[in-house]
Amino acid sequence: MKKILQSIFFWHSPAQGTFFGLTLAGLTVWLLPSIVFVFWAYGSYGFTWLSAWNDAWPPFLIVFLGVAALLLVYATFLCLRFYGWFCRRKYGLLASWLCLALFAICLVVACFKYGDLGFFVTFCVFFGALFPLMLLPKWWLWLTQACCWGLGLLISDVVLRHLLDPFLPRRLGQEIVNLPYAYISIQKFLHVSGVGWAWLLAAGALFLLLGYLLTALLWARAADLPFRRLFGKGVACLWSIFAVAYVVQLILALLGSQTANQEIAALEKHIGKPLTASALKEWHLSEEQPDPAFWKHIKTLTEDCEPFYEPFSNFYYSGPPDVQPQEAMQQWLQHVQKHEDCLSSLEKLFSESPPAIPQCYGFFDLDISTLSHLPKIRQLNRIASWRIYLALANGDANTAIVTAKMQANINNTLLRNTDLVCGQLWIDCVNTWLKSIERMLESQVLTDEQLHTLADLVKTTVDKMPAMQKRLLYDQAVYALEGFEVIGKGSFFMSQQEQENPYEAVPMRPLRFFAPHLWWYAAMDKAYMARSLQVEHLADISHLDGTCIVPLCSSSWMLVGASKTGQKFHVMNANLLAMQALIKVELHRRTHGTYPEQLENPPTDPFNGEPMRYRHGDCRFKVSSAEWNEKGQQWRIVSQTKVGPGVQVWSVGPDLIDDDEKNLQEPDDKRRSDDIRALMRLKTGEVRIGP
């Protein structure tokens, strides 16, 4: 055991031990994280995210940090033992203890004052310059190795800080001795961009290698040993492990890139169009040209037409109530009449189908300012729902149907876009529109012709949905692949201001040979992304369904969001089909005098493929009312769940379970049902609904 310990700690050859420790520390910085990362990416530790996504640290990460700390302590001990041995031999025992005490004090102070970066800088200063200063066989050798270490670490930090800056903006290094702006000036002074970052990092690695070899030469001369004696079996073994790990990871990266290219080619064949932003833009603009001036005018009008000020701000989100006190109705009418001219102008502009909305095409065309008009479209829809409410209160069916047409035209304009944001906004706006249609049916003031007009509007929307879903799939594929191009080229544009004065991040593609494990991971992520998008609709995306057992950053970010949006489109399709059937039911009543016992030619439920459910009788619904809130000095909307007569057509929803019977038996149950209903409540003496 004694011989084993002496061999492990290089008891009889401290110079070889310290060089082994330096090699171990240097290679471990790259070798250990890359090996752990590869095993993690292969799913060897189960499907688990790192602590950045989960507050509870996974066990494998704790083990990794423990092993890294143990190796660091071991390497530090070997180096300190050599310097202590040399200092004791040349300057005496007291001097060696003073040096160790100074190192410990500086390390503790730096940790408390500057954190982990202070620990790292103190370590580098002592082991790269101060401790070698004790050896001093020749000034030029010490100065050269110190300069090599300093330049190598400085260049590496410059690249690393710029590499992480888009993800951790302007944070890294700000706690350390006011140097970050000097680092930025180095990049500007050298005019580094593009592939120049790879050459800069290669120069940093070369300086570190020179510092490594010069330090070995310095130690060899201090210990009176031949230079080659320091390269023992342990050092050779470490470099061999490094070489094997690098080659294996490089092979994985090359194979992964080949797989990714094959999946991208298959996706392009599936969609039938080139997967580039320029092709997406050309294809979309070939159908119709957007009119920025028109939408800028709409935005200005909508800003001037803002009736949702206090005390009516809650009306914006909740929509019109079923029961509204006379006082609230009078106040609201006076409030809305101030904007009558503006509302009339908007109705004229949207009396016909408006031009296309300007949009972005891919990450490199990303401009947040082009999306600024989208909230105004949502606001316009909510204003329109109130306009329908007030028109029905006055028995003005013509104004109500004109406003409903305006809403349909606005929503169908969103349907023509390829942007996923527009798709999500369309879902929100159509929900508002369908609530207005339900209210119009409940009012019983529409003529048969107007009911047919509503039915045609709903049918037009249903017919246009498949085309939009294909557009969204194409757009999502382009965004997904361009996301990798953004990281590869190092271009992050998040606003018009940054486009005019862009901050250039470090491009990942030229650096891929320095980290083949990340190259392989990105290729695997890209391949899974392309494979998952080979579907007919976004709702068909089955993310992490068992075919992939590893956490993939880009896929988890983009595919989950796209899949959820696709599911919302699926729900909206069911909602529109149910509304079509409900309008037919009302037309049947007007023709035959009674509601049908069952639906004729019921629409197919898109979730289970069966006919949609129908009932005329007791239904569970909510009745909302406006109340004055003395504390907040504003009107608020409260709702109660009731069971009363009504007519409804519904889908079983994503869980494929019909919850209608449970809803009737337990009307106060707070669990959320995913049934999708088109409901027309019938007025009674006990249940008061409508304006």
pLDDT digits (tens, 9 = 90+) for 335-365: 777 777 777 787 778 777 788 777 776 555 5
pLDDT, greater one: 688 or 310: 310
Task: Yes or no: say if 282 and 362 are a contact pair by the CB < 8 Å rule.
Answer: no
For residue 101, pLDDT beyond 80: no
DSSP letter (8 states) at residue 311: T
- Domain residue ranges of the chain, discontinuous segments joined by +: 2-251
623-662 CB burial, b ≥16 within 10 A, e <16: bbbbeeeeeeeebbbeeeebebebbbbbbbbeeeebbbee
So what's the pLDDT on residue 289? 79
So what's the pLDDT on residue 11? 56
Q: Is the peptide bond before 602 cis (omega within 30 degrees of 0)?
A: no
- List CB contacts of 356: < 8 A, sequence separation 6 or more: 288, 289, 290, 291, 413, 416, 417
Upper half-sphere CA count for residue 80 (Cβ side, 13 Å): 16
So what's the pLDDT on residue 146? 77
pLDDT, greater one: 45 or 227: 227
So what's the pLDDT on residue 437? 93
Q: Which one, of 326, 300, 324, 301, lies nearest residue 314 by Cα? A: 324
pLDDT confidence tier of residue 576, bands split at 50, 70 and 90: very high
pLDDT, greater one: 42 or 669: 42
Rounded to whole angstroms, the Cα distance separating 671 from 641 reads 13
For residue 422, pLDDT beyond 90: no
So what's the pLDDT on residue 355? 81
Rounded to whole angstroms, the Cα distance separating 385 from 316 reads 10
pLDDT confidence tier of residue 52, bands split at 50, 70 and 90: very low
Out of 136-140, 331-335, 372-376, which region has the weakest mean confidence (pLDDT)?
136-140
Phi first, then psi: what are they for 372, rounded to 5°? -70, -20
Assign 644 to helix, strand or coil: strand
| Range with top average pLDDT, 162-166, 290-294, 403-407 | 403-407
pLDDT tens for each residue of 316-327: 667 788 877 777
So what's the pLDDT on residue 198? 85
DSSP letter (8 states) at residue 89: H
For residue 604, pLDDT beyond 80: yes
- Distances 176 to 231, 242, 618 between C-alpha atoms, Å: 35, 31, 70
pLDDT confidence tier of residue 214, bands split at 50, 70 and 90: confident
The count of other CB atoms within 10 Å of the CB of residue 171 is 12
| Range with top average pLDDT, 105-114, 373-382, 523-532 | 523-532
Rounded to whole angstroms, the Cα distance separating 126 from 103 reads 7
pLDDT confidence tier of residue 440, bands split at 50, 70 and 90: very high
For residue 71, pLDDT beyond 70: yes
For residue 384, pLDDT beyond 50: yes
Rounded to whole angstroms, the Cα distance separating 337 from 332 reads 9
Q: Give the residue-averaged pLDDT of 11-36.
A: 80
For residue 239, pLDDT beyond 80: yes
pLDDT, greater one: 122 or 57: 122
For residue 98, pLDDT beyond 80: no
For residue 175, pLDDT beyond 50: no
Facing residues of 647 across strands? Answer: 616, 680
Q: Which one, of 560, 568, 561, lies nearest residue 544 by Cα? A: 560
Q: Give the residue-averaged pLDDT of 405-421.
A: 81
So what's the pLDDT on residue 258? 95
Indicate the average pLDDT of the chain: 77
Task: Yes or no: say if 530 and 263 are a contact pair by the CB < 8 Å rule.
Answer: yes
Q: Give the residue-averaged pLDDT of 497-513.
A: 64
So what's the pLDDT on residue 370? 55
Rounded to whole angstroms, the Cα distance separating 296 from 283 reads 24
Structure token pair of residue 432: 């508002």
Q: Which one, of 340, 392, 331, lies nearest residue 635 by Cα? A: 331
pLDDT confidence tier of residue 559, bands split at 50, 70 and 90: confident
pLDDT, greater one: 359 or 434: 434
pLDDT confidence tier of residue 431, bands split at 50, 70 and 90: very high
For residue 548, pLDDT beyond 90: no
What is the per-residue DSSP string for 370-394?
GGTTHHHHHHHHHHHHHHHHHHHHT
pLDDT confidence tier of residue 180, bands split at 50, 70 and 90: very low
pLDDT, greater one: 555 or 185: 555
Percent of the chain scoring above 70 in pLDDT: 75
Rounded to whole angstroms, the Cα distance separating 557 from 562 reads 9
What is the per-residue DSSP string for 574-633?
HHHHHHHHHHHHHHHHHHHSS--SS-SSPPBPTTTSSBPEEEEEEEEEEEEEEEEETTTT
Facing residues of 679 across strands? Answer: 648
| Range with top average pLDDT, 225-234, 296-305, 364-373, 607-616 | 607-616
